[in-house]
Structure 1
């Protein structure tokens, strides 16, 4: 009888431990999501509203749009040296490598940039039937109205400088000789193995040296209890950076390197297999491993999503005028139709982020706005310090996309456009200036945020399945 009792107690203990382990595992996984409900900070809409809007209406449209040639080819300079410290930790893993496009792969409409010809015509050296030039002044003699080629180049530099005053990031422009086209579909964002001190230094520099922070904050991240000690503008800056960081981490967890296998047992290249890693996701976002901050970081993902969504809505009249030219007339027409459909859905969102509440208050507000812009420019420079080329590619693209969104929201050049109108032809063109790389980065960066929110729902489903399997 005693032996039976001991065996029974052992069985109870064993299943009690399993049940406890199951509950602990369940709680640990689901705790990442428990706070993803309700109204978002500094916004008026809820997480659930964004989930439905994105997963049902936005995500499918972006997936079909971004595979088109206009958006899949991105010109970027991955050879820029780090301006802040010696580049002493290059990623040697093959999955860090980025393959640039061959010339024959690039659509004809994207090759090069045709500059407007510089006038070389001098009317005073050409033959004329007139006996006197019409600008002859008897007192001043001839008035030379010609402009030299050197002066035209100077004007171009002045314009470039003026345009740069609106930019929130340092862009790799079309004239950069080291910039190359990269096919984003052939170089997807996913886990590459790039980690350790080099990767940590990137984010530590961004948070500790370039984000606005409350006084006497010594940790890299600003704790959610302290973030309200900052003004709205500084909170917005921190939340968009934190949201971008969270989005990138979700991509790495959802496309994690699970194994390396050979295509053929005898020869052939080794190919990686990528898929969701729930343990990695838990490690990066669970409250127990993040001092309670993980769920707030996920909420910041929704915040940056709403900010970029608002930028697209605000720039819709401008984006509807673009031709999205690649040289393939039929495909270009399809892209214009898809853009029109996407923007129509975006503008239907009922509770957009309200940027008009920011940077009000005269000279002091403008000083803060400039500080805001310069801080973000510095973050764009830090992207050149990333030691993994594939991570650098997607980091630069997403930072440029966010910088373009900030330019749309806060430069003032889009403020007088009717967001529900489609005709901007009567407004000065100089007020609307986005380079192709900015448009490509803006849509692809928003696509990354949309994918992150969609993948969060997929992770929830896998967690439920894992709970049942246990």
Structure 2
């Protein structure tokens, strides 16, 4: 339950409900956004394809707060109609969300006071936060009067590139999720991708296999993350339960986001991260790692979308790092802080060749 002031989301009455939610999408009206803090770009388009979804096995995820099984409270959303981008959701309300996540669940203690497992949780959340900032900068409303969208490179620098640790954590989270996907390759290959559209289903199966068995990826990054090093020692089980509780709290905080589209992508990506944790560490709260893996359709969707988001973020940072820093230096050479440029990235991560995983 949300305990943050001003983070509750108002329930729209029927006459306030946006028209696109009730009939085929025909554009957003600024007058229908009363529950979206006055920002039309923050609304979620709930127009659906007429294809049906086939029900998967229902099993809960111990790392997330929601019961992700299908129920009457769920709404299907076409993510292609709702890209992750700038929404205008800023200020104290947005800041309180991240403050609650970091301060209450994964604070950054001095390194000597923090165990390895808690460092992992902090890096994962920081990396996800960095990725979200990258996508906001990548698809930004540059001029509201003309509805002009484009890249905000100054924002990219101020929120991410200026801080090498944030870039490093972005890469860490990407590799962590990549490891989960490759570890679950057998399951994901055999999963039933059934939307009622045979052509799309075949394309999806082909793309999944291309990702899971990419020879270039396997040779460049055979073991992206070694999860076997965690939860060692006699306190391992208790520590896992503690961190599971912290991550469930983070998952619950996503319900407090006051922007519907931000909440959509926040919950989706936190579910994807929770799915990666489930794959790498357990299928329940114990150490029964030999139990058969069971994932729900929503978990698979979230996992693949999170990997895509992280991959696109890493790609954009790699491409723009040095050029953005040069522009910032030209604008304010006396005050700019040297950040994680493309040259610096090689030193940060120890390699200069990258394999990008992104779907067109």
Further displaced range: 298-307 or 430-439: 430-439
Match of 2:233 in 1: 361
| CA–CA separation in structure 2 for the residues paired with 1:353 and 1:299 | 14
The 5 Å alignment of 1:292-441 reads: 294-345=163-214, 346-348=217-219, 349-362=221-234, 364-411=235-282, 415-416=289-290, 431-441=292-302
Deviation of the 1:391 alpha carbon: 0.6
| Superposed CA offset, 1:39-93 (max 9, x none) | xxxxxxxxxxxxxxxxxxxxxxxxxxxxxxxxxxxxxxxxxx7465453575221
Q: Secondary structure at the match of 1:274?
A: strand
Match of 1:168 in 2: 63
Check whether the contact 1:228–1:235 (CA below 8 A) recurs between aligned residues: no
Number of residue equivalences: 299
Q: Which of 109, 114, 119 is the equivalent residue of 2:53? A: 109
Please report the TM-score for the alignment, with normalisation by the length of structure 1: 0.59
Match of 2:77 in 1: 182
Seen in structure 2, the aligned counterparts of structure 1 residues 452 and 358 have a Cα distance that, compared at 3 Å, is same
Stretches of structure 2 that go unaligned for 5 or more consecutive residues are 10-35, 332-360
Q: Which of 313, 316, 338 is the equivalent residue of 1:455? A: 316
Check whether the contact 2:84–2:135 (CA below 8 A) recurs between aligned residues: yes
Stretches of structure 1 that go unaligned for 5 or more consecutive residues are 1-80, 116-159, 215-225, 263-271, 288-293, 417-429
Seen in structure 2, the aligned counterparts of structure 1 residues 399 and 437 have a Cα distance that, compared at 3 Å, is same
* Divergent runs of 4+, >4 A: 83-86, 412-416, 464-470
Q: Which of 97, 111, 116 is the equivalent residue of 1:227? A: 111
Deviation of the 1:213 alpha carbon: 4.4
| CA–CA separation in structure 2 for the residues paired with 1:354 and 1:171 | 28
Q: Which of 108, 123, 132 is the equivalent residue of 1:239? A: 123
| CA–CA separation in structure 2 for the residues paired with 1:235 and 1:450 | 22
| CA–CA separation in structure 2 for the residues paired with 1:399 and 1:387 | 16
Please report the TM-score for the alignment, with normalisation by the length of structure 2: 0.76
| Superposed CA offset, 1:288-342 (max 9, x none) | xxxxxx1111110001111101101111111111121112223212221221111
Seen in structure 2, the aligned counterparts of structure 1 residues 84 and 457 have a Cα distance that, compared at 3 Å, is same
Deviation of the 1:394 alpha carbon: 0.5
Check whether the contact 1:101–1:180 (CA below 8 A) recurs between aligned residues: no
